[in-house]
Each structure stands twice: as structure tokens, then as C-alpha cells.
Structure 1
Amino acid sequence: MDDAVEFGTDAGRRGRWLALVELCVGYGLIVATVWTPRPAQAWLWWASALWIAASTCWSFPGWQAMGFRRGGFVASLWVVALAAVVSAAALAIAIQLHTLRIPHTVKGWVLAWGGYTVWSFVQQFLLQGYFLFRLLRLLPRREAAAVTAAAIFAAAHLPNPLLTVVTLIWGTTACFVFLRCRNVYTLMLTHAILGVSLAITVPGPVIHNMRVGIGYLRYRQPAKGKPMLIDPQTGRVL
């Protein structure tokens, strides 16, 4: 499951050029999407999704190469366990600081975080199966590809400082774990655990409700003295 191409050969050069074009266009569309206001943002979202899907199909390396396999699952389960410990600590701190925001029903959890969980899976695929896969073809060293993939992944979360730092740390860890174990399932689970934990323990005004790009800049917290309204079912800010 070696993703590198042979440098110096015609096939290698063509493969690198294709990987570079796919990477630049895909990442450019994603960045444009998070920085464009609605309603144009919706069109860019669909353009990004179509480009990612199309370029994944014509450069499809196989499911196993992208980490959708049973092998490496047990070997990488420690990442899920570590995320659970970190999340438990964050919950304990949030309870003490009275910043915990959680839904009160199972339906509330599904409504509030079901969609985010699916989105966290998609993000992990983008990091490992799209960005890292192409950077492994562009760069001669796997370590450089891993760090670069994590860096551009984190940059897509600007200007949210907390999310940018967290995603840089997580992205770097995830890329190196992936290179060793080549299993994306555990990384998806870890991403979901950490993301939901961050959202329910850090106050919305601090993290701007997990927004990035233009959404972060346009976030408006409740007026001073005005109580923050919380949906009793989902625990999310109204």
C-alpha cells in the first residue's frame, strides 16, 4: 500500500501533476466555500463536493489504500481510548465551571450532533483519503506529507484560533497514526468524540459555536445582560 510515485519518470511526473491539480482545486474550493457569504456559499459547497467526488473517482486508489479496511483497527484503537479520556477530563472541568451544554434526550443528541458526527467522518476522509493521499505523491518524504496535510487542514479552520490549534494537533497525530496503521475508522470515531466534546464544553462565545471562515467573523454573541437561550431538547444555543 505504498502511495508514492516514482520521481523522475514520465508516469511519476504525470501522477504528481494530476495530484497537484486535484489538491489545489479541491482545497481552493473548500477555502472559498468557508469564506463566501450565502447564498453563493451553497453553490460553492456543491462545487466542492462534486470536485472531491469526481477527482476521487478518477484517481481512486482502492478502499484499503484510503484506510477503509479491517487491518490496523485494533492497533489504532488507543487513539479512541485517549480521546475518551481527554473528553472525560473536559466534561469534568466543564461541570465545575458550569459551561457544559448537553441535550437532555436521545432525540436531542441525534438532532444536535448526528449531523456533526457524519460531517466529522467526512472531514477525516478528506484529511486522510484526499489531502494526505495526494501529498504522498507530491512529496518524497512521508513525514513531510503528514505535516503538510495537517497544516492545510488546520488552515481551513481559520480564523478560529482554538479550532485551528486543536485541528493542527489532531491532524498531525491522525496522519502519523494513519501512516502506521492505515485505518480510517478509528480516526473518524476519535474526530467525532473530540469534536462533540469541544462543542459541549467550551462556551459558544469563546469558540463562536464551532464556526470557521466568514461564519466566525460574523458570529454575534448574545447582548450583555441578555440570557442565552438554550434549546431544552438539543442543548444548542438558539
Structure 2
Amino acid sequence: MADAVQTEIAASGEAGARGGRRALLELCIGYGLILATVWTPRPAQGWLWWASVVWIAASTWWSFPGWQAMGFRRGGFVASLWLVVLAAVLSATAVLIAMRLHTLRVPHTVLGWVLAWGGYIVWSFAQQFLLQGYFLFRMLRLTSRREAAAAWAAAIFAAAHLPNPLLTCVTLLWGAVACIVFLRCRNLYTLMLTHAILGVTLAITVPGPVIHNMRVGLGYLRYRPPGKGRPLLIDPETGRVR
């Protein structure tokens, strides 16, 4: 199965032979739209968000390398499952530390968890697809060195989280690890699960004023801590600051 996936990738142009110019165009437009979205205020931000979705979906469709090449396969799941286990251990450790520091913010009901983090988990899956299925795939067409492609994909992924210093550093490290694991195991499912675990852990253990409630771009700069210009409101269902 691994040989079949490698053959499919090579045929689609991973070595950077053909399609490099189109890959660069797709990457520049897609990434440019993403940056414009996070740095543009509403209501224009909503239009840019939809433009990003349409462009990424369309360019993925006409450059589609196959589901297995993009990591949607059973192979490699067990081989990369250690990453999910490691994320769970790190998450449990962070939660215990946050409990001792009294910085843990968690919903008190199952419904509260779904309302508070259900959407984020879906978004974390989408981000992981963007990193491997969009950024890395096109970087592999632009360079013959897999390590360079992984480094560049991780770098632009992290840059999209500026100017949030914590998220930028975390996503740079995670992006590099995820790309390396993906190139070896070709499984996107474990990376999606790991991303979701780590992302939710950051959100519930790091105080909102420190991480600006996970915001990036213009939202990070416009963030106002509770008590500075607005009252502190706690949602009784989710336990989150509104």
C-alpha cells in the first residue's frame, strides 16, 4: 500500500517536475486570501472567508492527487498513533498544572463542551488539511527536497498565526512535526486528532488575556481583556468568558 501511495504521489508531481508553476500560483492566491481574511475587519472579512473556501476547494479539485495521497487512508494510522497518545499525555499534564494554578477553564456539561469546542474541533481538522493537503502538497511540487518542503509548509502555517506569539511558536513546532510524520506515514486522521487535542488544551489551560482567546491577525490586536472597557461575563453553561 505504501508503494502504491508513493507511486501516486510521484505521478502527481511531488518531485517538483511538472505543475510547479500552477502549484505556486494556487499557493500564492490561497495563502494570500487566508492572510487577507485574518487581517481584514468585518463585514469584508466574511466575503474574504468565502472567497478563500471557494478558491481552496476549486484548486484542490483541479489538482486532486487522490484520497490516499492526501492522507485519507487506513494505512499509516497505527504507525502514527503514537502522536495522539503523546498529545493526550501532554494534555493531561497541562490540565493538572492549570488546575494547580487555577487557570483551567472548562465547560461543566457535555452540551457545554459541544457548544464551546465542537466548532473549533472541526476547524482544527480543516487547518490540518490545509497544512498537509494544500500547503505541503504544493511545496512538494516546488522543491525536490522533502525536508525543505516540510520546513516551508510549517513556516507559512505558523506565519498565518501572527502576531500571536504563543500560537506562532506552537504552530511552527507542530507544523514541522506534523509534516515529517505525514511524509513518513501518509495518514491525516491521526494528525487531525492530535491537532484538536493540543488546540483545545491550549484554549482551556492558558488564560485568555495571555493567548488572546486563540485569536490571530487583526483579532489578536483588537482583543480586550475582561475588565478593560467591558464587564466580565461568564457563560454559566460553558464556563467561558463571553
Verify: 1:68 aligned to 2:72, yes or no.
yes
**Structure 1 residue 114: Cα displacement:** 0.2
Counterpart Cα distance in 1 of 2:15 and 2:76: 28
Decide whether the 8 Å contact of 2:15 with 2:141 is kept in 1: no
How do 1:159-170 residues align onto structure 2 when only pairs under 5 Å count? 159-170=163-174
The counterpart of 2:106, out of the listed 102, 106, 118, is 102
**In structure 2, the residue corresponding to 1:22 is in which secondary structure?**
helix
The normalised TM-score by structure 2 is 0.93
What residue is the counterpart of 1:205 in the other structure?
209
Verify: 1:32 aligned to 2:32, yes or no.
no
What residue is the counterpart of 2:154 in the other structure?
150
Structure 1 residues 98 and 66, CA, compared in 2 at 3 Å: closer, same or farther?
same
**In structure 2, the residue corresponding to 1:74 is in which secondary structure?**
coil
What residue is the counterpart of 2:57 in the other structure?
53
Structure 1 residues 225 and 56, CA, compared in 2 at 3 Å: closer, same or farther?
closer
Alpha-carbon deviations, 1:174-201, whole Å to 9, x = none? 0000000000000000000000000000
Q: CA RMSD in A?
A: 1.6
Alpha-carbon deviations, 1:61-90, whole Å to 9, x = none? 000000000000000000000000100110
Counterpart Cα distance in 2 of 1:59 and 1:182: 18
How do 1:178-197 residues align onto structure 2 when only pairs under 5 Å count? 178-197=182-201
The counterpart of 1:23, out of the listed 27, 30, 46, is 27
- Counterpart amino acid of residue 100 in structure 2: Q
Structure 1 residues 202 and 7, CA, compared in 2 at 3 Å: closer, same or farther?
closer
Counterpart Cα distance in 2 of 1:160 and 1:7: 34
The counterpart of 2:226, out of the listed 202, 222, 225, is 222
Verify: 1:78 aligned to 2:82, yes or no.
yes
What residue is the counterpart of 1:116 in the other structure?
120
- Counterpart amino acid of residue 190 in structure 2: T
Counterpart Cα distance in 2 of 1:190 and 1:118: 13
Verify: 1:93 aligned to 2:97, yes or no.
yes
Counterpart Cα distance in 2 of 1:164 and 1:221: 20
Counterpart Cα distance in 1 of 2:91 and 2:111: 21
The normalised TM-score by structure 1 is 0.95
Percent identical? 80
**Structure 1 residue 171: Cα displacement:** 0.5
- Counterpart amino acid of residue 132 in structure 1: L
Structure 1 residues 225 and 126, CA, compared in 2 at 3 Å: closer, same or farther?
closer
Structure 1 residues 6 and 215, CA, compared in 2 at 3 Å: closer, same or farther?
closer
**In structure 1, the residue corresponding to 2:79 is in which secondary structure?**
helix
Structure 1 residues 186 and 6, CA, compared in 2 at 3 Å: closer, same or farther?
closer
Superposed structure 1 runs of 4+ greater than 6 Å apart: none
Alpha-carbon deviations, 1:21-78, whole Å to 9, x = none? 0000000000000000000000000000000000000000000000000000000000
How do 1:172-183 residues align onto structure 2 when only pairs under 5 Å count? 172-183=176-187
Counterpart Cα distance in 2 of 1:89 and 1:150: 25
Q: Size of the alignment, in residue pairs?
A: 234
Decide whether the 8 Å contact of 2:88 with 2:197 is kept in 1: yes
